[in-house]
Amino acid sequence: MPVTKVIASSYLGLVFLSCLLLGTNLTLAQCDSTAGGFSISVERIAEDIGVIEGNSGTTDLSGYSTYRVYLNCETAQDKLSAIEGNNNRPLSIETTTSFFQTSLFSGSNNVLANAISPVLYDLYPDVVYDSWLTIGIQQSADASAGEVEVQLTEDNSFPLSTGFANGNNVNVNSIAGATWYITDSDLYTNGLAGGDLKVLIAQLTTDGEISGQFGMQVFRNGVSDTENCARPYLSFASHGCMETSACNYDPTAIFDNGTCDFCACPDSVQVLSSSFPSDSVPGLSLECEIIANHDTTGITTDLLGNSDPLAGMKTYRVYAKVDDPTTTVNAGFGGTAAPLSITSTEPFYQSQRWATPHRAAFPLLSGASTPTRSHNTTAG
């Protein structure tokens, strides 16, 4: 099943967008530049694609995923007419590795959806996973359905088509900038949000993590006037921290990449719903770090052979942070005046290797699960 989560000019670009607005008595300054109810969605439509055989030869897409990026609109009548970037509103579409591009096409045909045709799929199956930019269409425009081809205007000194056609990241931040668009959105259906309130703007195939940002021109309710002109500037990221209690929680992420940081929040150290500010002595505080996520350590049994004892757990280390390198910490204590508590919403893990209150961890046992027992290991 696809995984979906909502994430919420240049001289050439200005010339182009101004042309779009001609006849409407609009200027760019009159358009609403806030995000409004617009946002970006990313959907993964293929995962670990594998080896593909076709007339182009063998294409190994093992470990690659194909994503589709959408503009989420406010109403079914909203129309997207252009996507643009420049030095004032940079445009980027990036991966941590590289994008897959079929060798069948060249030039701008290799970066726009216009050249894609289902008749090619049997002989050139890698075309299915080609990376491209678009407004609303996923193959060549169907005139009978009111569609029109997507156009590209770019800075000849820094063309986005050349780099993207070779699998590189798209970065547009020059004065001249770049825009892909459809002419006269009033006449064509490409940019219409429709019942699902979405307009397709890109397909990206990569074995990395994707992210991006760009400006858009949208006409609310499909009406080209001052009241309905919108130019939101939006961003997205496919991977990030999805733990809502983490310091670096990313509400736009659709896949967790294991980067959650529970210990770097400003002014206090946060672990889940708890915080530890320097209450009593300025310059002193408690800090923590997660040193193991046991869904990924590969530990499957404890020393007694019990199965999967650490599944779903994390191991934390708690530190006293001091104000000076010469300061020493020689005790931890609690009492009536200053209560001590170490709590978890779930039980702490304790290795069965140690049977008394006198517990210790030994490096010689590092091949087993016991090194985690001397720290705070819990599913809570």
Q: What is the DSSP letter of 164?
A: H
377 within domain boundaries: no
Residue 50 located in a structural domain? yes
Instruction: Specify if 121 maps to a domain.
Output: yes
**How many domains is the chain built from?**
1
Tell me whether residue 75 is in a domain. Answer: yes
Helical (H) or strand (E) element with 205: strand 198-206
Question: Among 84, 80, 81, 102, which Cα is nearest to 93's?
Answer: 84
235 is in which domain, residue-wise? Answer: 3-240
The residue behind tokens 């896949």 is 255
In a domain, 255, yes or no: no
**212 is a domain residue:** yes
Round to whole Å and give the CA distance between 184 and 8. 27
> In terms of pTM, does the model score above 0.75?
no
Residue 370: both structure tokens together: 């016991």
Please give the chain's pLDDT, 380 residues, in tens. 444 434 433 334 444 444 444 334 445 557 888 999 999 999 999 999 999 999 989 999 999 999 999 999 999 999 999 999 999 999 999 999 999 999 898 766 689 999 999 999 999 999 999 999 999 999 999 999 999 999 999 998 888 888 999 999 999 999 999 999 998 888 999 999 999 999 999 999 999 999 999 999 999 999 988 889 999 999 998 888 888 888 888 877 888 888 888 766 654 444 443 344 545 666 677 777 777 766 554 556 656 667 767 777 878 888 877 778 888 888 877 887 778 888 888 888 887 665 555 545 444 444 444 444 345 666 66
Whether 378 maps to a domain, the answer reads no
Is residue 172 in some structural domain?
A: yes
Name, in order, each residue with C-beta under 8 angstroms of 287's C-beta and a sequence gap of 6 or more.
263, 269, 276, 318, 319, 321
